[in-house]
Structure 1
Amino acid sequence: MSAETAFTEEQQCYLQGFVAGAEAARVLRGLPTFAATLGLAPESGTATGAPAPPPAEARPARAEEIHRAIQDRLLAAGKKLTAEEK
């Protein structure tokens, strides 16, 4: 790049922030790096070397199923439901 087409300091700061935000979002989702996808880098889970988080549990399709699952878990633990919950 010539001096005429070089990025300004403001543009450089913007791009650095954009890339940092994209990297943070990638790490939070547990996505591999581009180099790891191509097999160019060892797979370590995330760019920070921390293991990737476990996959999230499947959520019930309906809200009532969430409450039913909680009630079943409480009953399995030997607890009792209130009169309103029965």
Structure 2
Amino acid sequence: MTLHILSKDVDNFLKLKSIREDVRIRYLVILAIFSSWYVEEDYPTNAPQKYDEYLKNMGTNIGLRVESRIIIKEFLEWIENGRF
């Protein structure tokens, strides 16, 4: 399981406007924790770029506010740096 497969699989769920934004944020945080277990194995050199790419697209694809994207991005950086 890789990040690009995970992001592809959850895009339709995250695009549902009927799901509150805070619920979508929680889901993404859980997804980040889960997918971080696979980062070293699947993307040893370009994992941060994959996270960045996904987060940049996330705003236009599912309509999260900029503040929410910043929170998620910071959380993913904590995971990457081993602070979580």
The answer to whether TM tops 0.5 is no
Structure with the higher helix share, 1 or 2: 2
**Which protein has the larger Cα radius of gyration, Structure 1 or Structure 2?**
1
**Does 1 or 2 have the higher relative contact order (CA < 8 Å, sep 6+)?**
2
* Structure-2-length-normalised TM-score: 0.27
TM-score w.r.t. the length of structure 1 is 0.27
